[in-house]
Amino acid sequence: MTPPLLSIRDLRTYFYTEAGVARAVDGVSFDVGAGETVGIVGESGCGKSVTALSILRLIQPPGRIEPGSRIEFEGKDLVTLGDEEIRHIRGNRISMIFQEPMSALNPVFTIGDQVAEVARIHAGLSRRQAWDRAVETLALTGMPAPEDRAKQYPHQLSGGMRQRVLIAMALIMKPALVIADEPTTALDVTIQAQILDLLVHLQKEFGTSILMITHDLGVIAETTSRVIVMYAGEVVEQAPVDELFARPHHPYTEGLMHSMPHIGHDQDRLNVIPGTVPAPTNWPHGCRFRERCPYSWERPEREHPPLYDVGAAHVSRCHLAVEPERRNNPHAPLVVVEGVGAA
Amino acid sequence: MPGQTQDSAATSVARPRESPLAIGVRRILRKPSSRVALFVLGVIVLVGILAPLIAPYDPAAQPDIVALKDLPPSLAHPFGTDPYSRDVLSRVIYGARLSLMIGVLATIVSLTLGVAYGAISGYAGGVVDALMMRLLDAFLSIPRLLLLLGVLVAWPRLSIGALVLFLGLTGWFGLSRIVRGQVLALKHAEFVTAARALGASRRRILGRHVLPNLVSPIVVAATLGVAHVIVLEAGLSYLGIGVPQPLASWGNIIQDGSDQIATLWWMALFPGLLMVLTVMMLNILGEALRDAYERR
């Protein structure tokens, strides 16, 4: 068996704040195979974005990747790689698409210039060559009239077009892995679908692996083949996408699914998982989800659950795996109905 | 191809090259007040540059210190003459040249220092930033005029070059504060993180993503800075420790007539008016620049 493209083992990224040590990512392990699309899903504050930034070593002080963490990519450990070498990986072998297409572009340069910059950094192309390549790449992302658009500034473009620019910047070097951090969150729903289609299409064309980070299970269902659910800095469930939607195991995953609004259901209120993610400076002992979990009993309070095998390539960090009868008598509803406006 | 779209209605491709700079310039020119300011400043700068061609007399010549001194404005001497029989109009024209030059050069010195100091402090962050900012606080606690007075009094017969240098050296503290604040904000801007994620080096990030986004506050600070230096230089020259005689600056022309200000009114009025006009126009322009570039 060939080794996976990206292999993360026991990744811990801690932030040393005045309020204490925030263990934002706390022992995360997973793989991404070549050409595969893997989704990471979870609420804000669960550690998914920090995981993404850690892969590219973009964590700034007071945060740091703890020793012992390993991020293996194309035979190199990114955690211990020199600054010069990691720069050669960024944008070249692994690139990233950011959430806010407006603020991720420099307002004072044309978009063609900004796409070309990536090629100038990594391929050592001349200004002219890099520009031509930028226009080609913009055309690939479905940018209309790319030669003219390339000469425009970010503020002259719509949100969807700006996101195409960011995708062009991420793909111009044909990287092996693209990390997409909430790539469609800031966009209109109709544009969201176009951008997702575009990513799937380009992924097939280039054979690029994608790590899709999102809080939106709809995005996961549409684009990924395997899903990692994160909660409180940990992986709590991992499964192939069909398996996960058919048989969610972890109560948190179940809660996320019950929180999805369904078209056709006459709903003017949303289902939510009660409570919020606990503070990363003070994760609860035992199971980190137990305070919000309708099934929790003594064991999750005492014992931090390991990742149990619960099916084919399906793991879950929940003691229900060994005491499944506990699921039959929840002491509270899994999700509650809350006013749309209530935070 | 997937995603050929409605967001891409290719209708608005009409205006390419609409740089933020060009937009700002257009916004400035739309205001009548800033058009006037630009025009007036243009004339004053031109007068300064062309001084040797325009000035009717040699500004330092004392043709007849008995018969031609203290003359009120007349056709031959529109701004009158001074107690040394020198033509005040010619001195005011040369004064424009010198005062503007000192203003611009000293501001260039301040800008260089202020931008470098502020950018390093903001970009380095942490202990370096804290130390540099405390040092700046110390500098800022000394009034600029006092600092200059001290140096200039202790060092008489200062050359113009040294005067420019000192004016510049004492003028960058405020600007470096502004630059540092902007750099701090830019450092965490998403496009800077994006640039890092795409493999840009520190130098490239500073040069391409941070500094170009500082241009507008720097231009505003520079415009207001020139006005400030002109006033300072006039003040110092008036006190007799600025521009040395026989060179003419607006300040030392006023100083030449200062002990007889009631009778030799033309000696204070004309250079004074010109100075007020210049400073006012620079401030109007500075405000217009601020309006144009600093609203986001």
In this structure, is residue B10 part of a structural domain? Answer: no
Determine the longest span between alpha carbons in chain A, in angstroms: 68
Which residue of A103, A170, A188 is in closest CB contact with B191?
A103
Closest-CA distance of chain A to residue B11, Å: 10
Per-residue confidence of chain B (296 residues) as pLDDT tens digits? 444 444 444 444 545 567 777 888 888 888 899 899 999 999 999 999 998 998 888 888 888 888 888 888 888 888 888 888 888 899 999 999 999 999 999 999 999 999 999 999 998 888 999 999 999 999 888 888 888 888 888 877 778 888 899 899 988 998 999 899 999 988 888 899 999 999 999 888 988 888 888 888 888 889 999 999 999 988 888 888 888 888 888 888 888 887 887 888 888 898 999 999 999 999 999 888 888 876 54
Q: Which domain holds residue B83?
A: 20-295
In this structure, is residue B110 part of a structural domain? Answer: yes
| A117–B198 CB contact, under 8 Å | yes
Q: Does A108 touch chain B (CB under 8 A)?
A: yes
In this structure, is residue B137 part of a structural domain? Answer: yes
- Exposure class string for A213-236: b at 16+ Cβ within 10 A, else e: bbbbbebbebbbebbbbbbbbbbb
Whether cis (ω within 30° of 0) applies to the bond prior to A240 is: no
The count of C-alpha atoms lying within 13 angstroms of the C-alpha of B188, restricted to the half-sphere facing its C-beta, is 9
In this prediction, residue B2 carries a pLDDT of 45
Q: Does A123 touch chain B (CB under 8 A)?
A: no
Which residues of chain B are within 8 Å of residue A148 when distances are taken between CB atoms? 13, 16
DSSP B125: -
**Which residue out of B198, B202, B211 would a mutagenesis test of the A interface target, given it has the greatest number of A Cβ atoms within 10 Å?**
B198
Chain centroid to CA A29: how far? 14
| A106–B213 CB contact, under 8 Å | yes
pLDDT in tens, A105-163: 998 899 999 999 999 999 889 999 999 999 999 998 889 899 999 999 998 898 889 99
**Which residue out of A153, A182, A213, A222 would a mutagenesis test of the B interface target, given it has the greatest number of B Cβ atoms within 10 Å?**
A153
**Which residue out of A59, A106, A151, A165 would a mutagenesis test of the B interface target, given it has the greatest number of B Cβ atoms within 10 Å?**
A106
A43 or A229, greater pLDDT: A229
Which residue of B8, B197, B199 is in closest CB contact with A88?
B199
Q: Which two tokens stand for residue B201?
A: 């080096």
Angstrom distance (rounded) from CA B41 to CA A192: 52
DSSP string, A270-303: EEE-SS-PPPTTSPPSS-TTGGG-TT--HHHHHS
Which residues does residue A22 pair with via DSSP β-bridges, in sequence order?
A: A15
Q: Which two tokens stand for residue B111?
A: 């800008």
Contacting A residues, span 182-241, partner chain B, CB-CB under 8 Å: 188, 190-191, 194-195, 197-198, 200-201
Of B106, B95, B24, the C-alpha closest to A108 is B24
In this structure, is residue B25 part of a structural domain? Answer: yes
pLDDT in tens, A55-66: 999 998 889 999
pLDDT tier, A27 (very low <50, low <70, confident <90, very high otherwise): very high
Chain centroid to CA B189: how far? 30
Number of CB pairs < 8 Å for A and B? 132
Closest-CA distance of chain B to residue A205, Å: 11
In this prediction, residue A340 carries a pLDDT of 47
Of B124, B146, B128, the C-alpha closest to B136 is B128
Q: What CATH number is associated with residue B254?
A: 1.10.3720.10
In this prediction, residue A8 carries a pLDDT of 95
Q: Give the count of beta carbons closer than 10 Å to the beta carbon of residue A141.
A: 26
pTM of the model: 0.79
In this structure, is residue B56 part of a structural domain? Answer: yes
Of B76, B78, B168, B158, the C-alpha closest to B115 is B168
In this structure, is residue B14 part of a structural domain? Answer: no
Q: Does A161 touch chain B (CB under 8 A)?
A: yes
pLDDT in tens, A203-257: 888 889 999 999 889 889 989 999 999 999 999 999 999 999 999 999 999 999 8
Closest-CA distance of chain A to residue B20, Å: 6
Q: Which two tokens stand for residue B293?
A: 């570039």
For residues A334 and A271, the answer to whether their CB atoms sit within 8 Å is no
In A, minimum Cα distance to B2 occurs at A198
In A, minimum Cα distance to B6 occurs at A191
For residues A118 and A192, the answer to whether their CB atoms sit within 8 Å is no
| B193–A117 CB contact, under 8 Å | no
In this structure, is residue B4 part of a structural domain? Answer: no
Name the burial class of residue B38, with classes exposed (0-12), middle (13-18) and buried (19+) by CB atoms within 10 angstroms of its CB: middle
Which residues neighbour A87 within 8 Å (Cβ) at sequence distance 6 or greater?
B199, B200, B201
In this prediction, residues A333-338 reach a mean pLDDT of 77
Of B287, B295, B153, the C-alpha closest to B224 is B287
| B6–A190 CB contact, under 8 Å | yes
A76 or B245, greater pLDDT: A76
| B8–A58 CB contact, under 8 Å | no
Q: How far is CA B89 from CA A145, B75, B82, B179, B271, in A?
A: 60, 11, 10, 41, 9
For residues A288 and A318, the answer to whether their CB atoms sit within 8 Å is no
Angstrom distance (rounded) from CA A98 to CA B284: 40
For residues A310 and A328, the answer to whether their CB atoms sit within 8 Å is no
Query: How many domains are contained in chain B?
Result: 1
Which residue of B4, B7, B208 is in closest CB contact with A191?
B7
Name the burial class of residue B65, with classes exposed (0-12), middle (13-18) and buried (19+) by CB atoms within 10 angstroms of its CB: exposed
Which residues of chain B are within 8 Å of residue A188 when distances are taken between CB atoms? 7
In this prediction, residues A29-51 reach a mean pLDDT of 92
In this structure, is residue B5 part of a structural domain? Answer: no
Angstrom distance (rounded) from CA A290 to CA A319: 11
ipTM: 0.83
What is the percent of chain A where pLDDT is above 90?
Answer: 59
Q: Which residue has the tokens 């006012």?
A: B280
**What is the rounded radius of gyration, in angstroms, for the C-alpha atoms of chain B?**
24
| B12–A144 CB contact, under 8 Å | no
